[in-house]
Structure 1
Amino acid sequence: MTLHPYFEKAAAILAENDRGSYTVPTKGLYPFQWNWDSCLTALGQAAIDESRALTEIETLFDHQWSDGMVPHIVFHVMDDGYFPGPDVWDTARILGLSTPTSGITQPPVAGFALARLMERSADADALADRARALVVKINRWHDWFLRARDPRGEGLVAILHPWESGRDNSIDWDEAFDRVPTDGIAPYTRRDTQHADPAHRPTKAQYDRYLWLVERFRSLNWDNTKLHDASPFQMVDPGFNAILLRSCADLADLADRLGMTQIAAANRDRAAKGIAAMESLWSERHGQYLCRDRVSGELVDSASVGGLLAGFAPVPEGRAAALAARIDKLSRGVRYLVPSHDPADPRFDARRYWRGPVWLIVNYMIADGLARAGQAEAARRIREASLDLIDAGGFAEYYDPLDGTPCGGGSFTWTAAMVIEFLREE
């Protein structure tokens, strides 16, 4: 059988960025293991080596905190090419970790990824014991979210730092982020702008606030019983919550198949409660979900891709149809789907990180959710646009939705993994 040339190139990128038991997103710009990168990367790896794909997730969860949190970066090796590094987070000293990590988390896509790996496995029985061990750990992470990030039990969780969302400098955060001070932070030198065009990266003002939050949380010794109420930034992101709720639902199904009935029931209950609560984030005016600022209690007037990513969760069919219509409307303003912000908004920036560009990982999750909800045509258009972007710009971190210009890092791991997924689906 002749392999698709994109598959061969994607497999080569995964191999290039493989560090044995984990992958880095790309050389230089991101030299460590990132949380949701690894879980999504495992989907692509599974088409090549199922056992290696499971190892990717296992390595991440080997560094789960004692309270159940899974950090967003694991610093397996020393590399001063990235800032902020382990010395800024200081978790190893404060918490006694054998391997330093960051002190915040990232979108909890592991439940979805593990369930999909096992559903497709050519020999699921051989991987069952490893899967059971991961189900226990992922369930602990889900439980942590509801304890640490939903203290009033509404069914939805808040992120406390923009980096947790994965959509670092989204327009969604601008107004709330203005509440975050910048005074008193230690002097620092950024590294990201040495590897990528500064015009495509977050601004210095945003970085100052990122660092203020890190220093604030560090001053509280990374105590997750205190961080939620201590943060001036508390955002209920529909995309982030959709990933959590989809992972809860899928983990429940997998746990049932593995005979882990209590874990299955707990996660099914979490998913049902959260899906009902998501209705509070719906905007009829925008035809999509919006973020809610938990500090002010108000919905954020920012129609970003986070509200479209909400369709990754098992939302009502009517909502999924409305999201498909919203994406169709967005397609009239761009050449490539799905822009990370509405191009009709004056704040749209086609090449700046998360303020306009297209990301294939987000495309994958949106398309997957829409296809699951019966919106096959919308899902097909997104898959085709994603592969067209590989034609236009190669395996980049992200892309200009107007002309396909590649931005950020090159030879990007999760882009390669998503290409393998799109090819599999076609």
Structure 2
Amino acid sequence: MTHLNETARDILRKNDRGGYTVPTDGLYPYQWNWDSVFAAWGFATFDNDRAWTEVETLFSGQWDDGMVPHIIFHQSDPGYFPGPDVWGTNKTPQTSGISQPPVAATMVRKIYEMDPEAGRARLAALYPRMVAWHRWWHDVRCAPGPACITHPWESGRDNCPDWDVGMANVDGSNVGPYQRRDTGHVDASMRPGKEDYDRYIAILQFGKACGWNHAEIMANGPFLMADPGITFILLRAHRDLIALGQELGEDVSEITGWADALEAAVPSIWNPDLGAYDARDIRTGTWANNLSSAAYLFLYAGIENPDMDAQMQRTWDAVTYGIPSSDPEAAHFDPRRYWRGPMWPVVNSLIALGLKDSGRDADEARLRRETATLIEKSGFYEYFDPVDGTPCGGSNFTWTAAIWLTWAGRD
């Protein structure tokens, strides 16, 4: 374990670009929102100051309306597509035009609790920024009730089958020529296909054409879906932000109202035919009819549901290692293609927090053991085949190293 701990710390250091951390060298050369916050959690286990700096650098890209973008382009890298010129947000620093799962408040709470004395002043400075981001989520993306996304990339689970019904209505035939860079770094069979990418770019081009007007994008954009993953992540984050506000002596009544409203919206993402929480196309009302790992974040959000307990046990027992990102009994299950089946250690860590909080200690231990086994066997990869354990995606991955230090490698 000792050598893996040091390897994990080395990965964080080597992916450090001076105030921010890239997910992995080459494949992802910028600062990604939720990757970065997990990096901060990892840094906090051995360098508390560097952990706070990571989050502060992320919030340096916050928009005036409160949104924290999913990518901050701190420096030019022609090896990545789509870069800042394609997004055209005209921000300083340059950013993408969408957000990502708001795990920041939850991870900031964890970092703060590791050393409250060292972190209090920095928490006080970050707190209003986090409140502004949560307000943006409530006012803009939760207008239909549950948390919604306007681009699959916003979910953090890019090509998950959750989005297939919404993507089917996106016309990607007129996006023009472009050159992908991701497939030059990893096996193309592990990445989203060209048809998906054409549609991703079409959605991006709509946002750019309207000047990234979020009201216009929500009203008329080509893609709008309720996301169980962000709904549960945001609900947990609201509660952690409330705890941080109370620690600082702040009035948290506004945030409490957001949390209550979002919890009241949770039944609207229950698909009775699937018997599970599910994504739904807001434009058409169509269910995704897909059981993804995002649905298993219900415990992380403090929601009890015996039917979901049974669903999670079924899909977990159908594979060998960890929680698969999509139902292994579904026709579209692909154990090595990004979010269409692989097991992601970072998602396991969030599910495990929910298991631990709800007193399911044996399940939490099992999930940690299965995750640790693959990292011990193959290294710090982005994701893994949950059936045979084949490592997939990028190697020396920041958030896999981070969750080893904070969770999977403990004990």
Would you call these one fold, judging by a TM-score over 0.5? yes
TM-score range, shorter chain: over 0.9
Cα distance in structure 2, aligned partners of 1:64 and 1:136: 12
Q: CA deviation at 1:329?
A: 1.4
Do the aligned residues in 1 keep the contact of 2:236 with 2:302 (CA within 8 Å)?
yes
Contact 2:316/2:322, CA 8 A, preserved across alignment: yes
Write the distance in 2 (CA, Å) between the matches of 1:324 and 1:383.
18
Cα distance between partner residues in 1 of 2:295 and 2:354 = 13
Specify which of 42, 54, 65 is matched with residue 44 of structure 1.
42
CA distance in structure 2 between the partners assigned to 1:424 and 1:301 by the alignment: 35
Q: Aligned partners of 1:51 and 1:287: how far apart in 2?
A: 45
Q: Is the 8 A contact 1:237 1:292 kept in 2?
A: yes
What whole-Å deviation, never above 9, does each CA across 1:310-368 have from its counterpart, x for those lacking one? Answer: 332111x3x1x443432221233211011001111111001001000011110000110
Q: Distance in 1 between matches of 2:135 and 2:364?
A: 31
Higher deviation after alignment, 206-215 or 178-187:
178-187
| Residue 290 of structure 2 is aligned to residue 302 of structure 1 | yes
Please state how far the C-alpha of 1:419 moved relative to its aligned partner: 0.6
Give the percent of matched residue pairs that are identical in Structure 1 and Structure 2: 44
Q: Residue 367 of structure 1 aligns with which residue?
A: 352
Give the whole-Å Cα distance in 2 for the aligned partners of 1:380 and 1:217: 43
State the match for 1:326 in structure 2.
Answer: 311
Give the TM-score normalised by the residue count of structure 1. Answer: 0.93
Is there any run of 5+ residues in structure 1 with no aligned partner, and where?
A: none
User: What is the distance in 1 between the residues matched to 2:331 and 2:66?
Assistant: 41
Unpaired runs of 5+ residues, structure 2, are none
Give the partner amino acid of 2:387: L
Quote how far apart the aligned CAs of 1:11 are.
0.5
User: Which residue number in structure 1 is paired with residue 300 of structure 2?
Assistant: 312
Q: Does 1:422 align with 2:407?
A: yes
1:216-365 alignment runs, 5 A limit: 216-261=206-251, 264-283=252-271, 286-315=274-303, 317=304, 319=305, 321-365=306-350
Deviation at 1:295, TM superposition (A): 1.1
Q: CA RMSD in A?
A: 1.5
The structural deviation recorded for 1:170 is 0.4
Counterpart contact for 1:392–1:405, Cα < 8 Å: no
User: For the Cα contact (< 8 Å) 1:162–1:210, is it kept in 2?
Assistant: yes
* Residue equivalent to 2:12: 14
Aligned residue pairs: how many?
Answer: 411
| Aligned-partner residue type, residue 105 of structure 1 | S
Separation in 1, partners of 2:55, 2:257: 24
Counterpart contact for 2:371–2:408, Cα < 8 Å: no
TM-score by length of 2: 0.97
The answer as to whether partners of 1:162 and 1:173 remain within 8 angstroms in 2 is yes
Distance 1:141 1:409, change over 3 A: same
Which of 283-292 and 24-33 deviates more?
Answer: 283-292
Corresponding residue number in structure 2 for 1:396: 381
Would the aligned equivalents of 2:150 and 2:223 in 1 still touch at CA under 8 Å? yes
Q: Contact 1:176–1:233 (CA<8 Å) still a contact in 2?
A: yes
Deviation at 1:425, TM superposition (A): 5.0
Give the letter aligned to residue 410 of structure 1. S
Q: Distance in 2 between matches of 1:83 and 1:370?
A: 37
Q: Alpha-carbon deviations, 1:85-144, whole Å to 9, x = none?
A: 01100112xxxx2221111110011111111111222xx133212101211001100101
State the Cα distance separating 1:424 from its structure 2 match. Answer: 6.5
CA distance in 1, matches of 2:89, 2:409: 40
Please give the per-residue CA displacement for 1:134-156, whole angstroms capped at 9, x wherever unaligned: 1100110010112221335x2x2
Question: Which residue of 2 is the match for residue 145 of structure 1?
Answer: 137
Q: Quick one: distance in 2 between partners of 1:100 and 1:71?
A: 10
Separation in structure 2 between the aligned mates of residue 302 and residue 111 of structure 1, nearest angstrom? 28
Asked whether the 8 Å contact 1:308–1:366 carries over to 2, the reply is yes
Aligned to 2:27: 29
Amino acid at match of 2:94: P
- SS of 1:74's equivalent in the other structure is strand
Partner SS state of residue 91, structure 1: coil
Following TM superposition, by how much is the alpha carbon of 1:4 offset from its aligned partner in structure 2, in angstroms? 2.4
Paired with 1:424 and 1:118, the residues of 2 have a C-alpha distance of 21
The residue type paired with residue 112 of structure 1 is T
Moved more, 24-33 or 304-313: 304-313
Contact preservation (8 Å) 1:201, 1:353: yes
